[in-house]
Structure 1
Amino acid sequence: MNKNALDPAWIADQLTGATWQTASSGGQTCVQVAFLDQGIVALRDSKNPDQPPHLFTDAEYDAFVAGIQRGELRRP
């Protein structure tokens, strides 16, 4: 799946009906995630939900989460 080739109207429709999940420990400053059709994952900032989300393929999202779990994305 090439996420860059997705139809903008399809993306807009998917985001309108998306169920956004927030970590329970995040309070008001969290990353929210929505799992869309066709293996696309959307991430957005809970403080700015009207801004366009970042879109990832399932594989990209899985690699991102795995990197977090391994501690690879910590600040130096």
Structure 2
Amino acid sequence: MEEMNVPAWRKSSRCGTSTCVEVAKVGENYLIRDSKKPEAAALSFTEAEWDAFVEGVTAGEFRF
């Protein structure tokens, strides 16, 4: 992997000492992974998919 394509992972601000969600942007894609298993494959989303997800979270679509 080229140096400029190495993901800069950011943890959720809601993270404590347990499992955290980490997000990185590489090129035009957003990557998501579990901090407890960083060696596992990350999920990849396009910018449009990521924007739709963020809008859904903001609108409360994922509240149980």
TM range (shorter): 0.7 to 0.9
Q: Number of aligned residue pairs: give it.
A: 61
Q: Which residue of 2 aligns with 1:36?
A: 26
TM-score (norm 1): 0.70
Bigger proportion of residues as helix:
1
Mark the runs of 5 or more structure 2 residues left unpaired by the alignment. Answer: none
Of 52, 55, 59, which aligns to 2:44?
A: 55
Amino acid across the alignment from 1:33: V
Partner SS state of residue 33, structure 2:
strand
Deviation digits for residues 10-54 of structure 1 (CA, Å, limit 9, x no counterpart): xxx27x7110001233123211000001x1110011111111000
Q: Is residue 64 from structure 1 mapped to residue 53 from structure 2 by the alignment?
A: yes
Identity of counterpart residues, as a percentage?
41
Please tell me the root mean square deviation across aligned C-alpha atoms, in Å. Answer: 1.7
Of 10, 15, 25, which aligns to 1:26?
A: 15
**Runs (4+) of structure 1 moved beyond 6 Å?**
none
Of 33, 45, 52, which aligns to 2:34?
A: 45
Mark the runs of 5 or more structure 1 residues left unpaired by the alignment. Answer: 1-12
Distance in 2 (CA, whole Å) between partners of 1:62 and 1:24 is: 18
Bigger proportion of residues as strand:
2
TM-score (norm 2): 0.81
